[in-house]
Amino acid sequence: MPAGTPKQMALVETQDLVKNYVLGGETVRAVDGVSLSIDRGEYVAIMGASGSGKSTFMNMIGCLDIPTSGEVRIDDIATGDRDGDALAELRNQKIGFVFQQFNLLARTTALDNVAVPLIYAGLGSEERRAKAKAKLGEMGLGDRLDHSPAKLSGGQQQRVAIARALVTDPVILLADEPTGALDSKTSEDIMQIFQTLNDQGITIIVVTHEAEIADQAKRRIEFRDGKVIEDVMIKKRRQTSA
Amino acid sequence: MIGNLGQKASGWIVNIAIAMTALRTNLMRSILTTLGVMIGVFAVTLAVAVGSGAQVSVMQSINALGSNMALVFPQPDTGEGGRRSFDRGRLTMRDARAIEKQISGIDDIAPQLRTNIQLIVAGRNASTNAVGTTPGYGKVSNLVAASGRFISEADVRSAARVVVLGPSVVTKLFGDYDPVGETVRINRAPFKVIGVLESKGSSFGNDNDDIAIMPITTTRQRFSGDTLAGPDDLQMLFVGFEDGVSLPTAKREITKLLRDRYRVRGKDINPFTIRTTEEFMKESAQVTGIFQIVLVAIASISLLVGGIGIMNIMLVSVTERTREIGLRMALGAKRSDIRNQFLVEAAVLCVIGGAMGLIFAIAGGTALTVYADFPVPIGVGVGIGAIIFSAFIGLLFGGYPAVRASRLSPIEALRSE
């Protein structure tokens, strides 16, 4: 943990976070006592080899997975004592997810895909359409509202997914290998979008195994065998990405 | 609060939209699943309608008899025990007159002797059932002459060779021609046609218009053979009561009178049987009720099979869309949102199937009414009931898959391929 971070500023905070899996009668400790804190406005890359526990860690701070022990606090809210529905509400309001495989609903227009989280936020259809349209506009897809995912390129699909992640104005954007299914040119576009979003003040946490992607972040946390082995601030070289 | 309600309503609209998309995606599968529910709802709706049609039909034919009436038969009333060969029944014209004189509240009585007759006119012939009776028969059986007149007291006294024909007999013998005043030969003797009855239609395929009525005295003289015990005996006696007379009381009084006349004591078996229209109605309501239950029970099996089809397809749908469920949960869907989504999908399948089943049932019911002369009433109530019931089937059989979907762990659902 970087020294001198005031505790009350932490947006994401974990305390002795542990996750065990039972596989074939054997207990595997995927995340092994991780304590760290991420502040508002940070841009964090979480790195590590396959099986290092980085994805499991990510799923727990995204409230998708329940820790075996330890605690996750999001925006000063303890998640341990919340039930499934309360966690769903927390994800809806505070967290935006971007997945490697985009995870868009097939045979559903870009607009309707982006509007899905707003359904669960309880917004009426007019408001949903308006907000989704605005977000797609910001992602440069204002002319693709009625396209289904099958008619969009990979980069466009990921931008729809980002619009969907941001449509509820979350405080954190969690991206799990967001460029894993994209070519390098498109990857750069997506990373550029992340950079811009972070500049606007959105906290971004990216799980990746690609060094170039991680280099875009301000902070790099490396996992191995369920433990954090490195946690460093990166000096920004803005001119390379700008 | 109003905004909240609006949001709730819009949530359901979204669920219906999601369901329609999912069902369209697997159109063939959806249609086949719907077909199962359709057949089930069709069968149950038609069974309910046929059952109540039977009830209506039976009640109509009982009402055609006359609404407030007792029937006395010369059959020993052995109750549940069945008839013993040595029990002989008796009922005579003198009994009939005694009943008419001594029992209060009687509107009219009509003794009856039935026999099959052969009618011939100008080379055409017809056979029918002749009822030998008195003028009171018209009143107790709601029979009116449409043209000419009914039999009279004078006809009975003189054992006149006159006959009143039912419309079906007239059609067979005379076509459209009004035969009043014509002569027909009945079992070789000439009879004068004095009237034609008003049509009473048919019930259960039984033609109520295939009948001939003549004075009881005439029947006795010419046709009654060896079937009766004595020259004064009757086959049946109709006793019509005035409105408001209690039939059970009247039955008790007649029983007492006849028991006295035949000197029946204690537990000895009565040589006569009395049945009232009230009893007929109760019994037939019971019988048609059982008929309806059996019919609906059999039809329900097909609905059950349809419901199982729904459950099967919904389980497949949940499995196929596990990843979508995970995604929706990640985006903030609560358990109830996921559960409702799949419930609505099942309900939409069922309601579409139910509506189509109802349409086919209405068509089938109409066809039965028109071509089989059997009333099959499918009212608004049955229609609404069918739709609500099919939605209920959807919720019932879609419930388990929907709850299963809602219990998935978000991360496991997301990871599934």
Do residues B397 and B314 both lie within one domain? Answer: yes
Cα B355 to Cα A6, B42, B248, B266, B352: the distances in Å are 65, 9, 47, 62, 5
Query: Smallest Cα–Cα separation from B173: which of B196, B150, B153?
Result: B196
My answer on whether B228 and B331 are in the same domain is no
- Taking the C-alpha atoms of residue B104 and residue B309, their distance in angstroms, rounded to an integer, is 64
Q: What is the pLDDT of residue A191?
A: 93
Task: Please name the member of B14, B323, B411 whose beta carbon is closest to the beta carbon of A64.
Answer: B411
Closest to A124 (Cβ–Cβ): which among B6, B327, B332? B6
Averaged pLDDT score across all residues of chain A: 90
- Residue B410 and residue B290 in one domain: yes
State whether B291 and B232 are in the same domain: no
Number of domains in chain B: 3
The two structure tokens encoding residue B382: 């049955």
Per-residue pLDDT, averaged over B98-116, amounts to 88
Structure confidence at residue B192 (pLDDT): 93
Q: What angle, 0 to 180 degrees and rounded to 10, lies between the N-to-C axes of helices A84-94 and B322-330?
A: 70
Do B297 and B357 share a domain, yes or no? yes
Q: Is A4 within the bounds of a domain?
A: no
Instruction: Say which CATH number the domain at A57 has.
Output: 3.40.50.300
Between B10, B14, B332, which is nearest A89 by CB? B332
Environment class of B333 (CB within 10 Å of its CB; exposed 0-12, middle 13-18, buried 19+): buried
Is A92 an 8 Å CB contact of chain B?
yes
Identify whether B255 is part of a domain: yes
Interchain pair A120, B10: CB under 8 A: no
**Under 8 Å between Cβ of B321 and B313:** no
Is residue B11, in this structure, part of any structural domain at all?
Answer: no
- Which tens digits make up the pLDDT trace of B262-312? 888 777 778 888 888 888 888 888 888 888 889 888 888 888 888 888 999
- Per-residue pLDDT, averaged over B323-341, amounts to 93
Q: How far is CA A200 from CA A9, A38, A165, A169, A184, in A?
A: 18, 17, 15, 12, 24
Q: For chain A, first and last CA: distance in Å?
A: 29
List the beta bridge partners of residue B106: B241
What is the spatial distance between Cα A89 and Cα A102, in angstroms, rounded to a whole number? 21
Q: Mean pLDDT across chain B, nearest whole number?
A: 84
Tell me: do B306 and B408 sit in the same domain.
Answer: yes
* B331 neighbourhood in chain A, CB within 8 Å: 91-92, 97, 116-117, 120, 164
Alpha-carbon gap, residue B267 to B388, rounded angstroms: 55
Print the domain residue range for A157: 12-233
Token pair, residue A237, equals: 């070289």
Q: Does residue A94 lie in a domain region?
A: yes
Is the Cα dihedral B328, B332, B335, B336 positive or negative? Answer: negative
CA dist., res. B273 & res. B264, Å (int): 13
Report yes or no on A2 lying in a domain.
no
Residues from chain B contacting residue A121 (CB–CB below 8 Å): 332
Same domain, B316 and B385: yes
| Domain with B256 in it | 75-105+242-271
Q: Are residues B386 and B307 in the same domain?
A: yes
For testing contact with chain B, the best of A61, A103, A162 (most B CBs within 10 A):
A103
Residue with tokens 């007492």: B256
Query: Is the per-residue pLDDT at B106 higher than 80?
Result: yes
Point out the residue among A93, A120, A164 whose CB comes nearest to the CB of B337. A120
- Average pLDDT of span B245-251: 87
For residues B353, B357, B358, B362, the Cα torsion angle rounded to the nearest 10 degrees is 160
Is residue B409 one of the residues assigned to a domain? yes
Contacts of B333 in chain A (CB under 8 A): 88, 120
CB contact (8 A) between residue B13 and residue A65 = no
Q: In chain A, how many domains are there?
A: 1
Of residues B7, B336, B411, nearest to A122 (C-beta)? B7
Taking alpha carbons only, the member of A170, A187, A157, A182 closest to residue A131 is: A170
Identify whether B344 is part of a domain: yes
Top-confidence residue, B62 or B128: B128
The answer as to whether A1 is a domain residue is: no
CB of A64 within 8 Å of a chain B CB? The answer is yes
**B165 and B127 in a common domain:** yes
Does the global pTM surpass 0.90?
Answer: no
CB-based contact B332 A117, cutoff 8 Å: yes
Residue predicted with more confidence, B125 or B7: B125
Read off the pLDDT of residues A110-124 as tens digits, 9 standing for 90 and up: 999 999 999 999 888
**Higher-confidence position of B277 and A69:** A69
Task: Please report the pLDDT score of residue B375 as a whole number.
Answer: 76
Residue B399: is its pLDDT beyond 70?
yes
Q: Does A130 touch chain B (CB under 8 A)?
A: no
Write a three-state SS string for B41-94.
HHHHHHHHHHHHHHHHHHHHHHHHHCCCEEEEECCCECHHHCCCCCCCCCCEHH
Q: Which residues of A touch B10 (CB under 8 A)?
A: 124-125
Q: Which chain B residues contact residue A60 at CB under 8 A?
A: none
Does residue A87 sit within a domain?
yes
Is A97 close to B21, i.e. CB distance below 8 A? no
Which whole number is the average pLDDT over B127-143? Answer: 87
C-beta separation of A217 from A44 below 8 A: yes
Q: How far is A18 from chain B (nearest CA, A)?
A: 16
pLDDT class of B405 with cuts at 50, 70, 90: very high
Strands A43-48 and A203-207: parallel
- At residue A3 the predicted structure's pLDDT band, cuts being 50, 70 and 90, is very low
Residue B203: the pLDDT is 63
**CB nearest B333 (choices: A88, A93, A97):** A88
Q: Checking DSSP bridges between strand A172-176 and strand A203-207, what pairing results, if any?
A: parallel
Give me the mean pLDDT over the B20-48 stretch. Answer: 87
Q: Per mean pLDDT, which range of A44-48, B1-5, B369-373 is the poorest?
A: B1-5
Chain A / chain B CB contacts < 8 angstroms: 68
- Asked if the structure places residue A74 within a domain, the reply is yes
Q: Indicate if the alpha-carbon torsion angle A213, A214, A219, A224 is positive or negative.
A: positive
